[in-house]
Amino acid sequence: MTKLGIILSSARPNRVGEKVSHWVRDAVPTGVDVDLIDLREVALPAFDETHSPKAEQPRTTAHALAWAERIAALDAVVILTPQYNGAYPGALKNAIDFLYTEWAQLPTLLVGYGWGDAGEVLPMLEALMTRVGADVVSTIGLGFREDLSVEGELFVREDRTAALREQLSAITAKAPVSVS
């Protein structure tokens, strides 16, 4: 069975990302095992390993080991990001920076939300994920007013929902199947 991670990257108390994560989860094809990864719950400290993840040295902290194992167990991933001041949350950048080989060739879909359909954050996140070797299949942006309210009420445009379903099918089909 394919294992899909959905990373909820906002750690703010008043976030709307949880509602966006439900929208994504509802579009996941049947037969796919979902791991909802809430970075607020993962709560990684600022990077504190003794070596760069790119150096491929053994990890020295329990939280880095656990984080690496969780991402390595995925066959594909969806990263949900708000657009905060034109960028992604610091918790997301830190979580990405803790790893390197785990991102390599991982089929990845980026879903952003914010003003202007998250048009500033998605290209930045795509560049970062490409740099760490992820296989970024596509990006989907949701806009305040057009798809959701700033309070998190969802009324997503049908073309966005159709694109989400199509891209979820694409990344899960592209993923190697895990043996559980």
User: Does any domain span residue 180?
Assistant: no
The torsion angle over the Cα atoms of residues 118, 120, 124 and 125, rounded to 10 degrees, is: -10
Threshold 0.85, pTM exceeds = yes
Q: How confident is the model at residue 1 (pLDDT cuts 50, 70, 90)?
A: confident
Q: Which helix (H) or strand (E) holds 7?
A: strand 2-8
- Find where tokens 């994920």 sit: 129
* Rounded Cα gap, residues 13 and 42, in angstroms: 15
User: Does any domain span residue 12?
Assistant: yes
Integer CA distances (angstroms), 3 to 86, 99, 101, 155, in order: 31, 19, 18, 28
Instruction: Give the structural domain span for 87.
Output: 2-174
User: Does any domain span residue 77?
Assistant: yes
User: Does any domain span residue 179?
Assistant: no
CATH number of the domain encompassing residue 80:
3.40.50.360
pLDDT per position as a tens digit, 9-68: 999 988 999 999 999 999 999 999 999 999 999 999 999 999 999 998 889 999 999 999
Report the number of distinct structural domains present in the chain.
1
Average pLDDT over residues 74-87: 96
User: Does any domain span residue 119?
Assistant: yes
- Supply the pLDDT for residue 60: 92
Q: Is 139 helix (H, G, I), strand (E, B) or coil?
A: strand
User: Percentage of residues in the chain with pLDDT exceeding 90?
Assistant: 91
User: Does any domain span residue 66?
Assistant: yes
Instruction: With a cut of 60, say whether residue 148 has pLDDT above it.
Output: yes
Amino acid at 90: G
Angle between helical axes of 121-131 and 90-97 (0-180°, round to 10): 10
**Which of 96, 106, 100 shows the shortest CA–CA distance to 57?**
100
